[in-house]
Structure 1
Amino acid sequence: MPQDPLKPPQCPASAPKPEWGWEPATATETNTARPLDIPPSDYKVVCYFTNWAWYRPGQGRYKPSDIDYNLCTHIAYGFAVLDPTNLVVRPHDGWADLDNKFYRQVVQLKARGLKVVLAIGGWNDSAGDKYSRLVNNPAARRKFIQHVIEFLEKHCFDGLDLDWEYPKCWQVDCSKGPASDKQAFADFVREISIAFKPRGLLLSSAVSPSKTVIDEG
C-alpha cells in the first residue's frame, strides 16, 4: 500500500548493537560522569555533534561512537547547509554524513531515549545572501519547508535547528542584510512551526546574545 504522505516513515526507535559495528560510548568508558538524576521531562541538555570533528588528528578526532549519550537529552547534528541555487537543505559533507553513515549513527542514539535534530547553517554557511533570499521569498519558504520535512523524515531526525547567523546581521555585520530579514525570518519560523507540529517534529534556533543583533534581526 502507498504510504500516507502525512505520516513519517517508520524510523527505528530502539535497536540492539548497531549493524555497522560500534556501540556509543558510556559514561564509565569515557569519564566519571553519570546519568543525571533530574527527570528528562524537566530539563534539556542540547549537545552539538559536528561532522568535521573526525578530520582532526590524534586525540582530537571525534566520531559518533565517541558520543557519551548519558550527558545529553538532545543532540543537534551540525551542520547541513542551504543550497545556494535551489534554496533547500542538503548535506554539508556527503562523505561523512552519508557514505560513512554519520547521520545514521547519530540518529541511532534515539534508541537511548535522546532526541536528535539536524542543524542547518553555522558561521561559514551564513556568509552571503542565500538565507536572506530564502526567507524573503514566500514561495521559496514553502518549497524549503516541504523539502526539509521530507529530508528529516528520510534520515529519521526528530526536527530542525536553525543556525543562520544572523537575520539582518550576516555574520554579525548588521550593515549587510536588509531590514526585511527580521520580519521575514519571523514569518519563516512561524510557517515551519505550523508545518512541523502535526508531524511531531521539533524546531529550535541558535540566536545571538548581542543586543544589537537581537534588535536588528
Structure 2
Amino acid sequence: MATPRATAVSAIALTVIGAAVACGPVHQDGGKQRPTVRPPSRTTMSTLGPAATGVSSTAPTGARLACGTEQLRWRLTLLTVKPSKEPTALLSATNTGATPCAFDGYPDLEVHLGKGPAVDAQPKTTTRVRLLLGHGRTVEIPLFYPAVRLRDGYCAIPPGEDPEISARPPHPASTDYGASVQMSDPQGRQIRATVCDTIHMGSPRLRPVA
C-alpha cells in the first residue's frame, strides 16, 4: 500500500508530464529541455481581428476569408509620367465573386521582362488597413514610382519594352499564383509600362460607391 508521501510525489510527476505533452515536442539545449513554440500560421493571422494582428480595421473582426485571385478583377491605370507627389498609377481590384472577402494588407505586384530585369512593389508605410470587399466593391492602391529615366539615365524597365505585370492578393492560398495585368491609360487603352525604379504602394482604400 502506497504511503501518502509517495502518492503526492506521483501526482506531481503526472502533472509535470502532462504539461510537457501539452507544450509539444521538446529540444535539448545545453542539458536543459524547453518546449518548441510554433507561431500561428499565415492563414490564421489573416482571419484574426485588429487586436490580435495590430492592424487598423474597417471590416468586422475575423468574419471573412481572404480574397483570392479567382474572385478579383485587376486593373492598372497610368495616371501621369511626370515625377510628382501624386501617384503615378493606380492598381485596383474588384470583387466579382458572390460573397464578401477580406483584403487584409498589401498585394504582391511585379513588373518584369521575361527572366531578365524585374521591379517589385513595396508598401510605402507599415500601416495596414483591413477592408471588407463586398460583391462589386473595388479596392484601390496608389502606386508611386518614376515612369521616366532617372537623372543618371537608368531605367529598370525602359520605354519601348513590353513587360509582363502580375498581381496577387494578400494572404493568397498555396495554389493562388496571381493574375496577369495589362496597364492602360485613363481612357482604357492598353499601353506599355515604363518603370524605372522601385514601386511604392500607398495604403489600400475602398472606392466610394457611385
Query: Same fold per TM (> 0.5)?
Result: no
User: Which fold has the larger relative contact order, with Cα–Cα distance below 8 Å and residues 6 or more apart in sequence?
Assistant: 2
| TM-score, scaled to structure 1 | 0.27
Greater fraction of residues in helix: 1
Greater fraction of residues in strand: 2
